[in-house]
Structure 1
Amino acid sequence: MDRRRPGSAHRRQFTVEVRRLGASAVVAPQGELDHHSAEKLGAALTECVAEGCARIVIDCSGLTFCDSMGLNVLLAARIEASQAGGEVQLAALPPMVARVFEITGAGAVFTVHDDLKTALASLPVD
C-alpha cells in the first residue's frame, strides 16, 4: 500500500523551466502546482514579464495537479502581462488541470491551445 500523502517527503519535486523565444517565452512547470509550489512559478512568470516577454506560453503538459493557489498565480500572471502589453496563453492542459479551469470558469480568460506546437505556431515571428 502506498502511504504517500500530499506534502510528504515523497512529493514529486516541482520544477519550472523557462525558454526564451525572441520576445516570447515558454514556461514549463512540472509536478503539483499548489500552495507549496505556486510561489516558484509566480516568481518565474514575474521575471518573464519584467524582462519584457510580450507573450508567455505556459506548457501545462507536465502538471499533475493544480489547486486554487496555482490557479491564482496563473490569473495574476495574466493580469500582470496584460498591464505590460503582453499576454499569457496556456497549452496542453492535462484533464485534471483542465477540469479546474472548467469548474472555475478561468479557462474563459485565457487562450488555451491543445498542445505546445499549436501554441508556438500562434506566436508572432519576432
Structure 2
Amino acid sequence: MDTGLRVVRRTTAPGLVVLSLDGYVDLGTAAVLAGALHDVVTARPAPEVLTVDCAGLVFCTSSGLNEFLEARRAATARGIAFRLAAPRPQTTRLLRAAGSDAVFEILPADDAA
C-alpha cells in the first residue's frame, strides 16, 4: 500500500540520526511522519542530533508542520538537537508563513548528513 510518504532512518555518525522524507505530508500521511519522529525521539539511547532531510518532501501541509513542531518540542525536552535539512520552496514558504522558520535550525542540502 502506498501511503504517499516514505521515511528512511539512517545513522550517519554516532549520535546522529537522519530521517529522509520522500513524498508528501498531509492529514492522511501525518501519522507516518509522527510515528517515525516519535521512534527517534524516544529511542534509548537517545541520539544527540535528529536531522529531518526534506529534500524528497514534495509537499507539506500544516499537518506536517505540526508534527515537526511537536517533534522539535519533544526532542528539545530530551536534550536532542532537532534540525530540518534541504526543504524545498513549498515547505520553506509554509515555514515562513507560519513564522516557524525562526524556530527551526534549517540546513542547506549539502549539510543534511
Same fold (TM over 0.5): yes
Superposed, 1:35-74 pairs within 5 Å as: 35-51=27-43, 52-74=46-68
Q: Percent identity over the alignment?
A: 32
Q: Would you tell me which structure has more helix in proportion to its own residues?
A: 1
AA at the equivalent of 2:23 = G
Cα distance per residue 1:50-72 (max 9 Å; x no partner): 11122111100001111111000
Cα RMSD, aligned residues only: 1.4
| Partner residue of 2:83 out of 51, 66, 89 | 89
Within 2, Cα distance between the matches of 1:110 and 1:25? Answer: 17
Q: Is the 8 A contact 2:23 2:59 kept in 1?
A: yes
In our comparison, the structure showing a higher alpha carbon Rg is 1
Matched, 1:26 2:18: yes
Q: Is the 8 A contact 2:86 2:112 kept in 1?
A: no
Give the number of the structure with larger relative contact order, counting CA–CA contacts within 8 Å between residues 6 or more apart.
2
Does the residue aligned with 2:101 lie in a helix, a strand or coil? helix
Normalising by the residue count of structure 1, what TM-score does the alignment of the two structures yield?
A: 0.81
Does the residue aligned with 1:112 lie in a helix, a strand or coil? strand
| Number of equivalent positions | 109
Within 2, Cα distance between the matches of 1:104 and 1:13? Answer: 24
Cα distance per residue 1:69-121 (max 9 Å; x no partner): 10000000000000001121011110011100011111111110111x3243x
- Mark the runs of 5 or more structure 1 residues left unpaired by the alignment: 1-10, 121-126
Cα distance per residue 1:12-65 (max 9 Å; x no partner): 731000002321100011111111111111111111111112211110000111
